[in-house]
Amino acid sequence: MANPTAAILVIGDEILSGRTRDTNMYHLAQELTKAGIDLAEARMVGDDTAMIQDAVRALAQGYDHVFTSGGIGPTHDDITADAIAAAFGVGIDVREDARDLLKAHYEATGFDLNPARLRMARIPEGAELIENPVSAAPGFSIRNVHVLAGVPAIFEAMVASVLPRLTGGTPLLSQNLRVQRGEGDIAGMLADIARDFEDLSIGCYPYQQDGAYCSNVVVRGADGARLQAAIARLGRELGL
Amino acid sequence: MANPTAAILVIGDEILSGRTRDTNMYHLAQELTKAGIDLAEARMVGDDTAMIQDAVRALAQGYDHVFTSGGIGPTHDDITADAIAAAFGVGIDVREDARDLLKAHYEATGFDLNPARLRMARIPEGAELIENPVSAAPGFSIRNVHVLAGVPAIFEAMVASVLPRLTGGTPLLSQNLRVQRGEGDIAGMLADIARDFEDLSIGCYPYQQDGAYCSNVVVRGADGARLQAAIARLGRELGL
């Protein structure tokens, strides 16, 4: 059976302006690979309701799971929760259990649960909360969309809360072989091996070492024995 | 007049599996911001012809410029040029001027221009070559799509070749103010300022310092005087 598929939507003007370098997509890619869920697409859009809605609808239809990152904080540019409620045509309002989480957190830390902070308890109808062990304000899952915070420490904690709920597949394994030849030199042989191992994905990534062209050949797949067979053949044909 | 818009499509299984962390989107975002071109969307897909085609068609229709990264090397998984020719319904074949560039480069470096390397001279009909000062194999522009290599040093050199050809807009300016208060504390005030400065984008990004919640307020816009006015008002209202 094929692995479940996933997409991520990274939301925030600061990503597209180049002010902030996204780390959440990279983290999620690694966690999903371990869980046997294939990350098939990533998109990044700004703080724009229409763009968030369109992307969420398209990705929710195309993949088993969608993760979003960013836009669920207390400020005016945090519009993700409202955009997602609109995308699915459901209502959104402050929810008691989310408000209770915030109230307890701000009482314990000595801050005021003011109207801006209370916005973080606005949850679309029918959603399930995602725990935020860092700063209390929850994420939520609605249908197949998991809405997570953008701050990397919180995003990562929320991924850890959500992933155990999802049915994974066969973890993708990978092996690599570093070869002291340029990729143009070994491309013909790699193409032959790729044809004989259609169940594997064989990638070739060039790098330079001491001025010489080298290649990192990466073989990926779910079946460890096939992976070993492909790597062994590669070694033989390269005379390693 | 509004600035031109752009999107980037990052192509490669190694990005979505989490093996490689993309740097090209981040680099392009910064260069476009300086050039006054608004990066409005980024997408990342694997080495899959149908997904590349669909994404290129959608982005080419939606934005003034599209940049792609990856998949134009000599190996079997380098399918970007063919996917883009198919997306636009044009032919693709080895082109003499591209072959000459490769021939000169490989003669000078003592390598063989074998069939795998010659694939890098396959250029869609009607495209214009983009110079590759690092390893000769050219990128190309077809209609509003600029097809660049995935290796960061080459991607960056190609961006430097292409950008001067494009008509930019007003560079986006930004100023920031670090505030030793949590974003929930200043969110109400920021929303008021954002309403009074609708021509600017005002973002707020939380961070912690010595255990205290702090906020980095970033104001972005094309008009330096308006930017100053917003920052000054922010300073006044914060008593800084």
A41–B44 C-beta distance less than 8 A: yes
* Neighboring chain B residues of A25 at a CB cutoff of 8 Å: 22, 44
Between B212 and A186, residue with greater pLDDT: A186
Q: What span, in angstroms and rounded, lies between the C-alpha atoms of A12 and B218?
A: 12
Looking up tokens 């307020």, which residue turns up? Answer: B217
Task: Kindly report, residue by residue over B115-162, the tens digit of the pLDDT.
Answer: 999 999 999 999 999 999 999 999 999 999 999 999 999 999 999 999
CA nearest to A142, candidates A90, A100, A78:
A90
Alpha helix segments (H runs only) across chain B: 13-16, 24-35, 49-62, 80-88, 96-109, 115-118, 152-162, 183-196, 224-237
Report chain A's C-alpha Rg in angstroms: 22
- Domains of chain A, earliest start first: 5-165 (3.40.980.10), 173-237 (3.30.70)
Residue B173 sits at φ, ψ, to 5 deg, of -95, 155
Q: What span, in angstroms and rounded, lies between the C-alpha atoms of A213 and A183?
A: 8
Interface mutation vs chain A, best among B11, B13, B14, most A CBs within 10 Å: B14
CA distance A33 to chain B (A): 6
The C-alpha torsion from B100 through B101 and B105 to B111, rounded to 10°, is -50
Q: What span, in angstroms and rounded, lies between the C-alpha atoms of A92 and A179?
A: 55
Element containing residue B124 per DSSP (H, E): strand B122-124
Size of interface A-B (CB pairs under 8 A): 182
* Neighboring chain A residues of B115 at a CB cutoff of 8 Å: 188
* Neighboring chain B residues of A203 at a CB cutoff of 8 Å: 12-14, 47, 75, 77
> Which residue of chain A comes nearest to B153, CA vs CA?
A207
B191–A75 C-beta distance less than 8 A: yes
Task: Kindly report, residue by residue over A127-146, the tens digit of the pLDDT.
Answer: 999 999 999 999 999 999 99
Interface mutation vs chain A, best among B77, B99, B202, most A CBs within 10 Å: B77
Please state, for a pLDDT cut of 70, what percent of chain B lies above it: 100
Nearest to B42 among A31, A44, A218 (CB): A44
A194–B76 C-beta distance less than 8 A: yes
Specify the DSSP class assigned to residue A44. Answer: E
CB of B52 closer than 8 Å to CB of B45 = yes
Task: Kindly report, residue by residue over A148-180, the tens digit of the pLDDT.
Answer: 999 999 999 999 999 999 988 888 889 999 999
* Neighboring chain A residues of B21 at a CB cutoff of 8 Å: 26
A225: left (phi over 0), alpha (psi -120 to 50) or beta: alpha
CA distance B220 to chain A (A): 9
Residue A1's pLDDT is what? Answer: 66
Q: What span, in angstroms and rounded, lies between the C-alpha atoms of B46 and B44?
A: 7
A185–B76 C-beta distance less than 8 A: no
Residue B1's pLDDT is what? Answer: 65
What residue type is assigned to position B220 of the chain?
R
> Which residue of chain B comes nearest to A19, CA vs CA?
B30
Nearest to B218 among A19, A205, A220 (CB): A19
* Arithmetic mean of pLDDT over chain A: 94
* Neighboring chain B residues of A204 at a CB cutoff of 8 Å: 73, 75, 77
Q: B208-236: b or e for each residue (b if 16 or more CB lie within 10 Å)?
A: eeeeebbbbbbbbbbeeeebebbbeebee
Contacts of A80-83 with C-beta under 8 Å, sequence gap 24+, read A80/A11, A80/A52, A80/A147, A81/A122, A81/A123, A81/A124, A81/A140, A81/A147, A82/A49, A82/A122, A83/A49, A83/A52, A83/A53, A83/A56
Please state, for a pLDDT cut of 90, what percent of chain A lies above it: 89
Residue B209's pLDDT is what? Answer: 86
Per-position DSSP letters for A165-223, written without gaps between them: GS---PPPEEEEEEESS-HHHHHHHHHHHHHHTTTSEEEEEEEEETTEEEEEEEEEES-
CA angle A169/A175/A181 to nearest 5° reads 145
> Which residue of chain B comes nearest to A10, CA vs CA?
B42
B30–A26 C-beta distance less than 8 A: no
Residue A208's pLDDT is what? Answer: 86
